[in-house]
Amino acid sequence: MISFLTCQFEYTEPSPNVFNYSGGDTILAIAENHGKRVRCHNLIWVSQLPDWVVNGSWTAASLTAVMKTHITNLITHWGGRCYSWDVVNEALAANGSWASSIWYDTIGPEYFFLAYRFAQEAVEKTGQDIKLYYNDYGIEAPGPKTTAAYNLVKELQARGIRIDGVGLESHFEVGATPSKDAQVEAKQGFLDLGVDVVVTELDVRFPEGPFYTAAGEKQQAQDYYDTVASCVEVGPRCVGITVWDFDDAYSWVPSSFPGQGAADLYNGTLQRKPAYYAVAEALQGVSCSVC
């Protein structure tokens, strides 16, 4: 499972050097009581920042110090209870250039590499085997953003900075999901660099209603099937798949994309959709009977 909001900067460091771990502690305790591992998400991102970070008067040096303190404190506090961290989230624009953020705009591209260096140093001090990931959307199929993500991995490696894997968010639209072959190609590109991949935020939303037609659900099932099957096909170094929200009633999609929805494996009354069975069949390596 993923600890999302409870690990965000605005909740964990609401004031300078004042840390609040209560939300994350609660999520981790629930996971541990049920024998589940937690991917902690995330350390550095453009969003979910407290006002004191967004509106501060920073130099590159002073904001770098803030970043180091934040990364070090979170990794140190939770240690191996987080089996992995998304160190930086969504650093790239659609065309493969750097995305604008308080971090990039103040520090420049070096912020990305510093974040991973600080994370590596903190992990080494814990003595725990905590994996360090980069996470983004739009890198699930070949294209300029995917190529840019490959280059980030290569640059970290060239500098001797640790990166263990890349998270592919996989927020898709019904009928516009990359093909299985395209997804395999993108994943294999990361694997060829020596890092793992993981599907981190999978959902397949309808861009408009009606949502629950037989034809629409059949296509949604195919899209889910192709995505999961691509992970299975590249082998055990595609280390996991997380679906983003449990059912349509609690999905993030309607509030973020008005008029869109029905993105999850269960409908709003907790009934399994064809996509649920498609995922199960993809995991078993058999043909899709509901696609």
Q: Determine, yes or no, domain membership for 144.
A: no
- Arithmetic mean of pLDDT over the chain: 97
* Same domain (yes/no): 171, 276: yes
- Boundary-marking domain end, from 107, 136, 165: 136
Residue 196 pLDDT > 80, yes or no?
A: yes
Alpha-carbon gap, residue 232 to 226, rounded angstroms = 10
pLDDT of residue 6: 83
Residue 172 pLDDT > 80, yes or no?
A: yes
* Same domain (yes/no): 131, 18: yes
pLDDT of residue 36: 92
Average pLDDT over residues 9-25: 96
* Same domain (yes/no): 10, 120: yes
* Same domain (yes/no): 173, 270: yes
The answer for residues whose C-beta is within 8 angstroms of residue 106's C-beta and 6 or more apart is: 58, 59, 60, 63
Asked whether the beta carbons of 197 and 165 are under 8 A apart, the reply is: yes
The string of pLDDT tens digits covering residues 225-246 is: 999 999 999 999 999 999 999 8
| Angle value at C-alpha 105, between 43 and 169, nearest 5 degrees | 40
* Same domain (yes/no): 161, 58: no
The set of catalytic residues is: 201
* Same domain (yes/no): 107, 180: no
Total structural domains within the chain = 2
* Same domain (yes/no): 197, 95: no
* Same domain (yes/no): 74, 198: no
* Same domain (yes/no): 196, 248: yes
Q: Determine, yes or no, domain membership for 50.
A: yes
Q: Determine, yes or no, domain membership for 147.
A: no
Helix or strand or coil: residue 200? Answer: strand
CATH number for the domain harbouring residue 247: 3.20.20.80
The string of pLDDT tens digits covering residues 129-143 is: 999 999 999 999 999
Tell me which of 4 and 37 has the higher pLDDT.
Answer: 37
Residue 2 pLDDT > 80, yes or no?
A: no
pLDDT of residue 3: 64
Residue 177 pLDDT > 70, yes or no?
A: yes
pTM of the model: 0.96
Alpha-carbon gap, residue 279 to 39, rounded angstroms = 21
- Boundary-marking domain end, from 88, 104, 136: 136
Residue with tokens 């629950």: 212
Where residue 1 falls among pLDDT bands split at 50, 70, 90?
low
Is the preceding omega at residue 42 within 30 degrees of 0, hence cis?
A: yes
Q: Determine, yes or no, domain membership for 10.
A: yes
Q: Determine, yes or no, domain membership for 163.
A: yes
* Same domain (yes/no): 45, 121: yes
* Same domain (yes/no): 69, 164: no
- Boundary-marking domain end, from 102, 136, 170: 136
Q: Determine, yes or no, domain membership for 141.
A: no
Domain with 36, as residue range(s), is 1-136
Q: Determine, yes or no, domain membership for 149.
A: no
* Same domain (yes/no): 161, 129: no
Q: Determine, yes or no, domain membership for 254.
A: yes
Where would I find the H helices in the chain?
9-12, 22-33, 51-54, 60-78, 102-107, 110-126, 144-158, 180-191, 214-234, 253-256, 274-284
